[in-house]
Structures are given as C-alpha cells and as structure tokens.
Amino acid sequence: MIYYFAPLEGVTGSEFRRAHHQFFPGVDAYYMPFLSPTQDHVFTHRERRNVLPEYNQGFRAVPQLLTKSAEDFLWCAGELSAMGYGEVNLNLGCPSGTVVAKGKGAGMLARPEELERFLEEIFARAPAGLRISLKTRLGLEDPEEFPRLLELFSRYPVSLLILHPRVRADFYKKPVRTEWFAYAAEHYRAPLCFNGGLTAPEDCALLSQTFPQVDQVMIGQGLLADPALVRRAKGGPAASKEELRGFHDQLYRTYLEIFASQRNTVFHMKELWSYLHTRFEGGEKPLKRLRRAADSPSYEAAVNQMFALPLASGPARS
C-alpha cells in the first residue's frame, strides 16, 4: 500500500512535514496545504516558505492548488514545475463555506460545464511532463452527482484521482460513503486513491481487503491524531512517548524561531493538539488548559501535564 499525508491548512506546512518525516518516516508523499494563486501571479513569503524545494528535502512533497481560474492555475503550475516539482494537485474538495461561495474547491463540482472548460484548458496547456492529480468529493449536495463527474474526470490524463467519498454537505462529520467509492473502483480505469475516515491500522487493512485493486490511500486527521499510523499500518510499533515529545519539541522550537512570537506559536500548536491529545489517557483535561494558554509558560505547563499522562492503549480517537 502507498500512503499519502493529506493537507490540512494551518497545520501541515513545511515545518510540520520536516519534523514528521524525521520522527515518523514512511509516508510516501506529503500533499501540501493549498496555494490559492491570484491574478497578481506572485508567491507570498509564507507560500514560498511552504513550497520552495529547500524546505522540502528528504521526502516527496506535492503542491496543491485551489483556484477556478485556468490562467492562475497554469501560472502557478509553471512556477512549481520550474522548481522541479513533477506533480501538482487540484483541490476540488474543500468544503469551506467561503471557498465554496467563490466557486472554488468543492464549489467547482456544482458547475460541471465550467469545470470541463477549466480541465480542458489546464490539461492542454500545462508544462510538458507535469502530472496533474485531482482531489475531489462526490459532489456538492447529492452523491448522485458523482457519475457525471467521474465520467468527466475520465476524459483527461489525471495522474491520480484522490476520492474523499463524501459530498460537500457532509463536511467531515458524516460517515464516508464507501458504496460510492466502490462505484469509482468499478468504473474508473486510471489510478485511484481512497481518502477519508482512516484512523487505525485495521481501517487500512479492511480497505485493502475490500478494494484489492486500490493500492493508494491518503490519511489526514488519523495521522494528526497518531503520527505513527503509517508505521503501524506497515506492521511497525506505535509511537513512544519519547518520539511524540521529540516531534512536538522540534516543531514547537521551529515555530518559536519562525514566528518570533509566543502567541502565534501557541496558536499554531493548539490545532495539532486538538488531534494529538487522543494519544493520551485522560488527555481532555490538559487539552482544556492548552486551549486557554496564550504564552509559552502557560502552554509549556499544559504540555508537561499532557506528557505526564500514560499513552492511550487503544486506537486514536478523532
């Protein structure tokens, strides 16, 4: 099985990817949080820190683009190709209300004719040799939208179709609709990847048994809750407390250096802890203290309280 780390805005930036790869190697590729290119056709400082190859050495990283403008996509894809990236990923799945209202992300799925014109242009004009993968949902409101979308995707040389089998209206709360992934596995003849709801090695094993023809999976929240999930899925050990502490401390120190602000650093770490606290028995109590922290002393005290707890014996809960 090939394992990919799903992007999560504000969490899985280049600093996170480097720390995770150092302590928990084994992920086959990290998909980056989306870039949203504008008509100005420039990268911000933050975007450059995320995508420049020197910040992504030692592992495979794939930039993701969020846009409804073919011209903006092609500009950004060209810049990334010139940096040496061999693949870019188009985000057709983001369910955020502000994103969808602008007709981007999952909002593009509601307009198949416009989506077709967009795909026609980017596949015709993309830099030679650059692979374009798609990350999509089943549709906006109803999974019955999916057959038409799948037929549309089938017309283009998509390098990988990453399917999150929920509609936009499901967000991340409702169960994944595995029956619709089965439809894709039966009807789609190009590389296919499953994304959504995988939180334990047993989930990965069951998916492999259910869909033996699919050998690629993408995991997001499950890997944030259990950074060693891929290692465990491959038969390796669970994360030790020492590994988790080392991973945390490196990421925390890096953020302090980059942001030069205790408040901003603590803010960024809180999002990770909303998942990672599930690795600890009774982690909900120090999590409340973490959420109230506004500076390094209060944050570090809460972290020490978390690491004083025993590790959870069961699967991560997310």
pLDDT tens digits, one per residue of 295-308 = 999 999 999 999 99
- The predicted structure's pLDDT at residue 173: 86
Angle (deg, nearest 10), helices 296-307 and 241-259: 170
Query: Is the predicted pLDDT of residue 314 greater than 90, yes or no?
Result: no
125-183 tens-digit pLDDT: 999 999 999 999 999 999 999 999 999 999 999 999 999 999 999 999 899 999 999 99
Query: Is the predicted pLDDT of residue 23 greater than 80, yes or no?
Result: yes
Domain 2-233 has CATH 3.20.20.70: yes
- The predicted structure's pLDDT at residue 313: 80
Cα separations in angstroms, 114 against 102, 119, 199, 304 = 13, 9, 35, 52
Mean pLDDT of 31-49: 94
- The predicted structure's pLDDT at residue 99: 96
260-291 tens-digit pLDDT: 999 999 999 999 999 999 999 999 999 999 99
Which sequence spans correspond to the domains of the chain? 2-233, 241-307
Q: Do residues 51 and 22 lie in contact, with contact meaning Cβ atoms separated by under 8 Å?
A: no
- The predicted structure's pLDDT at residue 22: 98
